[in-house]
Amino acid sequence: MVVDPVAGEMLGIQSVPVSDMDVDIIVTIGGDGTILRTAMSNSAAIVGINAGGVGFLAEIDIDDIEEGLARLIRGEFSIDERFKLDTFYNGKKLEPAVNETVVHTDTVGKIRQFKVYVDGRLATELRADGIIISTPTGSTCYAMSLGAPIIDPNVNAFVIVPMAAYKFACRPIVVPADADITVECVLDRGCLLVIDGQAEHQVPGQVKIDFQRSKEKVRFVMFGKDFYSRVREKLVNAI
C-alpha cells in the first residue's frame, strides 16, 4: 500500500505523489473533485469514498467504508472505462478532461462572443459568459446545472453547452464523440480555459480552441450500482 503526501503526513508514514504511483487501483477519500484531480495525475483505476458533497462519481459512501474495502480486496467489482476529452490550444494538447472543459470570460460580468464549429461547419454563434464542452460523464455535473441533458455514459457523444447566452433560442447541442469541435473566441478579450475544475489556462482573445475525443480513458471501480439508480439517488431524490 502506498499513500499520497497528505495522507502520509497525517499517518506519519512514507508517501508517494499520486503522479508517481505505480498501482492498479487508487482509493480516494473526498468528493468528485478529488477523483477528478487523481484521474488527471494517474491512469490507475479509481474507487472513491465519498466524504464530500454529492459525490456522484464516488462508489463507496462514508458509512460503508468497511464493506466497500472488503469487496475491493475480495475482487468483487468491475471496471467501467469511459473516454476523456482532449483540449488543444496554440498547438499544444492540454490536460485530458474526464468531465468537461470550460471556455469562460476572464472578467466577471463581461460577456464574450463565440463561434462554435463542428467538423469545420459553423454550428452556432453567440454572446455568452462561456461555453462548456462536456463528456457523458460530465453531463451530470456543470453541464446539467446549465440545463444540458443527462447523457448515459455508454453514449458516444459530447454536449456543447452555452453559459448565460444572450440569445433566446440558444440551447445545448449534442454531437457525436468522433466530431472535431472548435470554439473561436471572436473578440480581442481574454478567456480562461478550465479543465475539470482542476487546471486553468489563460488565453487571449481572437483564438481558436480545438476539442477531440481522447485516446486516454478513465477507469472507475464499480460494485454493481447502475447509472440510473445513481442518478435517482444522487440527483433526483437528493435534497
Least confident among 42-46, 122-126, 160-164, 166-170: 166-170
User: In this structure, what are the phi and psi dihedrals at residue 19, rounded to the nearest 5 degrees?
Assistant: -65, -20
- Is 196 marked active-site? no
Q: What is the per-residue pLDDT across 198-214, written as a single tens digit (0 to 9) for each? A: 999 999 989 999 999 99
pLDDT of residue 52: 76
Please give the model's pTM, rounded to 2 decimal places: 0.93
Quick one: pLDDT at residue 238?
Answer: 64
Residue 19: is its pLDDT beyond 60? yes
Instruction: Please give the pLDDT value at position 54.
Output: 87
pLDDT per residue over 62-94, tens digit each?
Answer: 889 999 999 999 999 999 999 999 999 999 999
CA distance 105 to 98: 22
Portion of the chain with pLDDT greater than 90, in percent: 85
> What is the β-pairing status of strands 130-134 and 100-105?
antiparallel
Q: What fold, for 5-77+223-236?
A: Rossmann fold (3.40.50)
Residue 19, SS3 per DSSP: helix
* Per-residue pLDDT band at 239 (split at 50, 70, 90): low
Instruction: Write out the three cell numbers for 187.
Output: 473578440
Residue in 20, 22, 32, 86 annotated catalytic: 32
Tell me yes or no: is domain 84-214 CATH 2.60.200.30: yes
CB atoms < 10 A from the CB of 173, how many?
16
Q: Is the pLDDT at 125 greater than 70, yes or no?
A: yes
84-214 matches 5-77+223-236 in CATH topology = no
Rounded-to-integer distance, Cα 38 and Cα 35, Å? 5
Residue 153 contacts by C-beta under 8 Å, 6 or more apart in sequence? 80, 82, 136, 137, 227
- pLDDT given for residue 192 in this prediction: 96
**Domains of the chain, residue spans:** 5-77+223-236, 84-214
Specify the pLDDT at position 89: 96
**Is pLDDT above 80 for 237?**
no
Residue 137 is predicted with a pLDDT of 98
For the record, the C-alpha cell of 97 comes out as 478532461
